[in-house]
Structures are given as C-alpha cells and as structure tokens.
C-alpha cells in the first residue's frame, strides 16, 4: 500500500521525495494547487515517527491490504488524476518493498550498523551478566560431593572409602574378626554403585559437551545473519552447563541415597547378634552376682569390664541392663546361677587369701572348708 511506500520513501531519504517530485509532476502540481504542502509533509513526518513503534509483523501486514488513497493525496476525489502515480505505486508496492529490503541489506552502511548493534547487545548482555556473574558454589552440591568423596564413590579408585568403612566397622564395636565377609560384600556393592555413578556421569558430560557444541555451531552460523556477540554465546554455554549440572546433582543425590541405604544395611548386618564368649559372660556374671545388692557398675568399672571381656562399654551397659531386668523378672530361674557365682567368688576369694597366707598353710587344694555349694538343688558344684 502506499502508506508503506511513503514511509519507506521517507526512511530512505530525500531521494524518494525528489523522485516523487520528478516522476509525478502532475500530482505534485495538484497538491500545490490545493495549497496544503505543509500539511502533507507533516503527515509524512508523523508516519515516519509512527513506524518506529511498529513491529515488523505489523509493518509487513500493512504491506498487503487494499490501499487507501485518502492519506496520500489529501484529496477525497477518487477520480483524481494524481492517482495515476499513486496507483502505480500501490500495485508495485510489494515488489518495491522487496527491492528496498534488498537495497538495505546491500547498503554500504550495513556493516557499520551491524557492528553498532553488536556493541549495544554486548553492553546489554554484560550488564545482565554483571548481576548474576559469580553464582556461588551450591552448598548442596558441595555437600553431596564431600559425601561421595568420603564414601569413596567419587574419589580415587578404591582405598579411602573402604578404609573408612573398615574404620567405621571397628569403631562401631563389632567383633573385628567376623565383619570381614560382610565387609567384602559392602565393598562389592559400593564398587557397583561407584561404577554406575561414573558411567552415568560420563554420559551426562558427553551429552553436555555435544549439546554445547551443537548450540555453539548454531549460534555461530546465525551470527552471520544476525548480531550475536561471543559473550552471548558464552552466556548460552553457561546456561546449558547450569542445566546439565542440575541434572548431575540429581545423579549425585540418588547415588548418595544408594550409599546411605547400603550403609544402613551394612550396619544392620553387623548388628547380627554374636553371643559373648564364655570367659566374658563369666566375668560379667561374677561382677553382677558379687554386686547383687547394687548391680550398677560405675563408668570406671564398666571400662574395666569392657577391657577384660574385649567388648565395648555400651555392650557392658546393655548386658547389665538386660541382666538386671531379667534377673528381677525371674529371680528363681537365676537362683542356681547366683549360687554358682557366689561359690565361684568365694573360691576366688579363698584362693587369694590362700595365696596371701601361703607361708602358713602351703597346701589348700580344693579350697576346702568353704561354704559348699550346698544349696544347689541338683547337688552340682
């Protein structure tokens, strides 16, 4: 339509107007004869201003509909001769438009304009980047990394992790000899998790770099037709990396979960009960029955007992807790045991005293003469 023509004419400079002047003398004359040239120029200027607010789509859309001659001539006479030129312009407009577009693309100022656009973009991008430049290392991902490292999943091959597990096993008070089977099982499972983790990580990294390359190539290609600064590409890459690292975090998280589950299972396995050895129960029972009136060993006593029995203090505590409650529940059942240990302690005491008075009575074989285990119902010692 001719609105567009006029605007483009205005945009392309005075040449257009001059051409109109020359090529359409008739119409110009008519306009002049109408005595409103000022108003027409004002119209044109207004339209030029207006076009800056238009979107490309709008402008293009305006290119095709039926022309409305009213604006141009300033005359409302449809039969006006001036329309001859106007009609020509209207029919030829699309072509004209294409032509001007091409002219713009090949314009000698285009590179300069392009570089100015690039500069402006770069400044904008920089100001945007300035705000979110240094994103601090995510504490969550750091925590996950630390844990995976500590568990020996992400660290150097073998070593640290299993050593830590062994240390944990030892510290937890499990019998050091019986944990080897479960331990190797644990190590095997951990290695499996480790392998899955690494292969997944590799996959992610590969996908990330592939995608990054793809996007970079795309942008580079596009940068020939539209202004894309290297900074912009850099930013895009950063965005991609951020996306992929969030996926990576999910992987790390689920790996951590798997390790935790394995660990808890491992700990559960270690909780498999093993009876204390005979000597240990003897030591504990001795203490218990000889302190029957107050079977609450002090912290020191517990430590002593723990050392003697090669168990932990908490195991001693457990034992005494169990023993007290079970004894109390059924004293009768423990009577025999009580007598047994009463005799035992008596014998020990006798032995000690005998050793002390060895000079006086050298031979005291059977610790004889001491309160016999007479109250043992079955007559056993």
Candidates 214, 274, 291, 307: give the one binding DNA (CB under 7 A). Answer: 274
Q: Which is nearer to DNA, 330 or 361 (CB)?
A: 330
By CB under 7 A, the residues from 121 to 150 that bind DNA are none
Nearer to DNA among residue 307 and residue 326 (C-beta): 326
Q: CB of residue 185 vs DNA: minimum separation in angstroms?
A: 15
Q: How far is the CB of 272 from DNA (least distance, A)?
A: 5
To DNA, the closest distance from the beta carbon of 293 in angstroms equals: 13
Residue 310 C-beta: closest distance to DNA, Å: 12
Residue whose CB is less far from DNA, 89 or 311 = 311
Nearer to DNA, 97 or 334 (CB): 334
Count of residues that interact with DNA, criterion CB under 7 A:
22
- Interface map 291-310 toward DNA (x if CB under 7 A): -----x--x-----------
Interface positions, 210-229, toward DNA (CB under 7 A) = none
204 is an interface residue for DNA by CB under 7 A = no
Smaller CB separation from DNA, 108 or 296 = 296
Looking at the Cβ atoms of 322 and 358, the one nearer to DNA is: 322
Distance between CA atoms of 153 and 156, rounded to whole angstroms?
A: 8
* Of 102-110, 113-121, 251-259, 265-273: span binding DNA (CB under 7 A): 265-273
Q: Compute the distance between CA of residue 91 and CA of residue 99 in angstroms, rounded to an integer.
A: 14
Minimum gap (Å) between residue 351 Cβ and DNA = 25
Cβ neighbors of 26 (< 8 A, separation 6 or more) are: 81, 82, 84, 85
Q: Which of residues 309-338 bind DNA (CB under 7 A)?
A: 315, 317-322, 324-326, 328, 333
Would you say 105 or 275 has its CB closer to DNA?
275
Q: Taking CB under 7 A as the rule, does residue 272 contact DNA?
A: yes
Q: How far is the CB of 176 from DNA (least distance, A)?
A: 13
Minimum Å gap between C-beta 364 and DNA is: 31
Least distance to DNA from the beta carbon of 368, Å? 30
Q: Considering the complex, state which of residue 211 and residue 276 has its C-beta at the smaller distance from DNA.
A: 276
CB of 151 to DNA, least distance (A): 20
Q: What is the 3-state secondary structure (H, E, C) of the chain?
A: CHHHHHHHHHHHCHHHHHHHHHHCHHHHHHHHHHCCHHHHHHHHHHHHHHHCCCCHHHHHHCCCCCCCCHHHHCCCCCCCCCHHHHHHHHHHHHHHHHHHHHHHHCCCCHHHHHHHHHHHHHHHHHHHHHHHCCCCCCHHHHHHHHHHHHCCCCCCCCCHHHHHHHHHHHHCCCCCCCCHHHHHHHHHHHHHHHHHHHHHHHHHHHHHHHHHHHHHHHHHHHCCCCCCCHHHHHHHHHHHHHHHHHHHHHHHHHHHHHHHHHHHHHHHHHCCCCCCCHHHHHHHHHHHHHCCCCCCCCHHHHHHHHHHHCCCHHHHHHHHHHHHHHHHHCHHHHHHHHHHHHHHHHHHHHHHHHHHCCCCCCCCCCCCCCCCCCCCCCCCC
Cβ atoms of 2 and 72 within 8 Å: the answer is: yes
Q: Does the protein bind DNA through residue 179 (CB under 7 A)?
A: no
Q: Which residues bind DNA (CB under 7 A)?
A: 173, 271-276, 281, 296, 299, 315, 317-322, 324-326, 328, 333
């Amino acid at each position: 339509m001719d609105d567009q023509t006029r605007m483009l004419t205005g945009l392309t400079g005075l040449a257009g107007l001059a051409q109109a002047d020359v090529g359409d003398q008739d119409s110009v004359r008519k306009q002049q004869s109408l005595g409103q040239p000022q108003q027409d120029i004002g119209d044109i200027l207004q339209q030029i201003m207006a076009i800056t607010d238009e979107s490309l789509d709008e402008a293009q859309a305006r290119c095709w509909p039926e022309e409305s001659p009213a604006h141009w001539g300033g005359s409302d006479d449809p039969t006006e001769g001036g329309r001859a030129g106007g009609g020509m312009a209207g029919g030829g407009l699309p072509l004209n438009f294409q032509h001007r577009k091409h002219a713009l693309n090949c314009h000698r100022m285009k590179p300069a304009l392009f570089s100015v656009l690039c500069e402006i973009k770069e400044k904008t991008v920089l100001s945007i980047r300035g705000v979110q430049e240094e994103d601090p290392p995510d504490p969550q991902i750091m925590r996950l990394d630390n844990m995976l490292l500590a568990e020996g999943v992400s660290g150097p091959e073998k070593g640290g992790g299993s050593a830590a597990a062994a240390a944990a096993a030892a510290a937890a008070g499990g019998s050091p000899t019986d944990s080897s089977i479960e331990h190797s099982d644990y190590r095997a499972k951990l290695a499996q998790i480790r392998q899955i983790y690494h292969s997944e990580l590799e996959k992610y990294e590969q996908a990330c770099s592939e995608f990054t390359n793809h996007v970079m190539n795309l942008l580079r290609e596009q940068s020939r037709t539209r202004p894309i600064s290297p900074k912009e590409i850099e930013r895009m890459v950063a965005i991609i990396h951020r996306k992929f690292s969030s996926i990576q975090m999910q992987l790390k998280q689920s790996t951590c979960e798997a390790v935790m589950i394995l660990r808890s299972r491992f700990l559960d396995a270690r909780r498999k009960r093993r009876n204390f050895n005979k000597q240990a129960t003897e030591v504990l029972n001795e203490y218990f029955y000889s302190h029957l009136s107050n079977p609450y060993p002090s912290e020191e006593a517990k430590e002593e007992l723990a050392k003697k029995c090669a168990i932990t203090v908490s195991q001693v505590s457990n034992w005494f807790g169990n023993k007290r409650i079970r004894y109390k529940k059924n004293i009768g059942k423990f009577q025999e045991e009580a007598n047994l240990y009463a005799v035992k302690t008596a014998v020990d005491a006798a032995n000690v005293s005998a050793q002390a008075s060895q000079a006086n009575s050298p031979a005291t074989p059977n610790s004889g003469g001491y309160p016999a285990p007479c109250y043992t119902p079955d007559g056993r010692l």
